[in-house]
Amino acid sequence: MVVLEAANICKQYGNKWNKQEVLKGLDLTIEKGEFVSIMGASGSGKTTFLNVLSSIDQVTSGTIIIDGKDITTMKERELAWFRQRHLGFVFQEYHLLETLTVKENILLPLSVMGAGKKEADEAFRSVAAELGIYELKDKYPNELSGGQKQRTSAARAFIHQPSMIFADEPTGALDSKSATDLLNKLTEFNQKYEATILMVTHDAAAASFSRRVVFIKDGQMFTEVMQQDRTREDHYEEIMKTQAILGGIKA
């Protein structure tokens, strides 16, 4: 089952006298339960691509269909409603509300959707326990480590069981152990609940946790690497080779 289908995505900034073309006709299809990473050099357009796919930014032209709905034709109110119910986000900078506890931050999507207290409490208990942060439920963000903040952010993204999880450099501000812990949890959610994840990363080690890596160069598709039957270590080596070729280094 196709969850996301993007066709001929173009994104331009500026005006007709000073135009910058960032995305140049990109196509991408993601099936339910896939864990896909997007990689590319700085300025390649990977973050812009994630932003338009996730409705944070608007395309200049092209179509993006998520769960059978073309989000490029939606008005802002309809898009906000769709985003709240169908999409989850994990950002590098966490974006937690400092005045809310861990539990209150995680429950925000369900609060917006008007979920009942019993339903919300059960969902919180489940997702917080899975991510190892249930005991932190009454703490505030300023009392947490970076890894704990990011797991709180991930719990908030997963709690309403969205159709798509968009992760923008989720390990970028974490030490190596916290990054590995988070990526292991994302993999568990992907496999256990068939969560569909699209992650932008510059880190080949992080990308090796996903089963498909899409490489972008100068706003266009360059190639993709599938894990297939490879071990994660071999998958990582293949990603590194492709990165070297992408950067103009002979592998």
Q: Where are the domains of the chain?
A: 28-97+162-247
Angstrom CA distances, 228 to 40, 109, 157, 246, stand at 21, 34, 27, 21
Residue 101 has pLDDT above 80, yes or no: yes
For the segment 219-236, the average pLDDT, to the nearest whole number, is 96
Q: E strands within 87-209?
A: 87-91, 164-168, 197-200
The pLDDT, as a whole number, for residue 251 is 42
| Backbone angle region of 30, left / alpha / beta, with phi > 0 → left and psi within -120 to 50 → alpha | beta
User: How far, in Å, CA of 97 to CA of 112, rounded?
Assistant: 15
Cβ pair 49, 26 in contact under 8 A:
yes
pTM: 0.94
User: How far, in Å, CA of 101 to CA of 103, rounded?
Assistant: 5
- The one-character DSSP state at 66 is E
Cβ pair 154, 184 in contact under 8 A:
no
Q: pLDDT tens-digit profile of 200-210?
A: 999 999 999 99
The percentage of the chain sitting over the pLDDT mark of 70, rounded to a whole number, equals: 98
Element (H, E) at 116: none
Taking domain 28-97+162-247, whether its CATH number is 3.40.50.1370 is answered by no
Angstrom CA distances, 244 to 3, 219, 234, 241, 247, stand at 31, 18, 15, 5, 5
pLDDT band at 19; cut points 50, 70, 90:
confident
